[in-house]
Structure 1
Amino acid sequence: MKPETLSFFEKVYEVARLIPFGRVTSYGAIASYLGAPRSSRMVGYAMNVSGEKNVPAHRVVNRVGLLTGKHHFEGTNLMQQLLEAEGVQVVDNQVQDFDSLFWDPSKELK
C-alpha cells in the first residue's frame, strides 16, 4: 500500500511504531507530524483501537505527560506498568522527567 493511500489511523500507527523504547510522545506531536495539528483527538481515537495492530500505544500520552488513555488498557495500571518496564517513571499518572523523555517525530523523522 502506498503511503498516500493509507488511512489516517494507519499513518498514526506507522509513526507510533517508531517511538523508541523508553521514550514517549504526545497525541498532538503525532498529529502535527502528519500535517494535521488540530487532530490530536483523532490520534487518541486511533490509539484507543490499536490493540491488535502491534502499536506501542502506551508510549503516547497527553501534551504534559499525563496517562490520559490509560482506561483503554486492560487492568487498572497496564499502561503505567508497560512504561515502567521500559524505565519510564510514572507518579500519579504523570510521566516523570517528561521533557527529557519526549520524542518529537517532527524533529526525529525527516
Structure 2
Amino acid sequence: MSDAERVYQVLASIPAGRLCSYGEVARLAGLPGRARWIGRVLGQLPKDSTLPWYRVINNQGKISFPEGSAAYRRQLQHLIDEGSASPQGKIDWRQCRWP
C-alpha cells in the first residue's frame, strides 16, 4: 500500500462531525512528521472526491486556507453542515478533535 493510500484510509475513518490535524493524520498513517506532505496530498484530491478532506485542519484548530478564499469558504461550509463549526467561522476544536 502506498503512503497516499494510507492517508486516504485515515481520512475515510474520520467520523462526521469530528476533526483531525494534519500532523495527526500523518501519525495515524504511519508517517510521523509529514504534516505538510499530508496537506499536499489533500490538495491533489480531485474536486469530486468523496473523501472528507475538509475534516482536516491545522493543529491550532483553524482552517489552513486564507480566510475568505473560495477554498476556505468551501471547507467552512462542510464543517458547518456537520456541526463542527458555527456560521461565524468558530471551529469547536476541543469538542470535535479526533481521535
Q: TM-score, normalised by structure 2?
A: 0.82
3-state SS of paired residue (1:38) = coil
Count of residue pairs brought into register by the alignment: 97
Q: How do 1:25-40 and structure 2 match up within 5 A?
A: 25-40=20-35
Q: Which runs of 4+ in 1 moved over 6 A?
A: none
Structure number with greater Rg is 1
Work out the percentage of aligned pairs sharing the same amino acid.
Answer: 28
1:89 to 85, 91, 95: 85
Q: Which residue of 2 aligns with 1:55?
A: 51
Tell me by how many angstroms 1:30 deviates: 1.0
Q: Is the contact made by 2:63 and 2:72 (CA closer than 8 Å) also made in structure 1?
A: no
Which consecutive unaligned segments of at least 5 residues does structure 2 have? none
Decide which moves more: 48-57 or 27-36.
48-57
Q: Deviations for 1:46-73, whole angstroms, at most 9, x for unmatched residues?
A: 11112344211000001111100478x9
Opposite residue 57 of structure 1, the aligned amino acid is W
Unaligned 5+ residue runs, structure 1? Answer: 1-5, 105-110
| Cα displacement (A) at 1:100 | 1.6
Aligned alpha-carbon RMSD (Å): 2.4
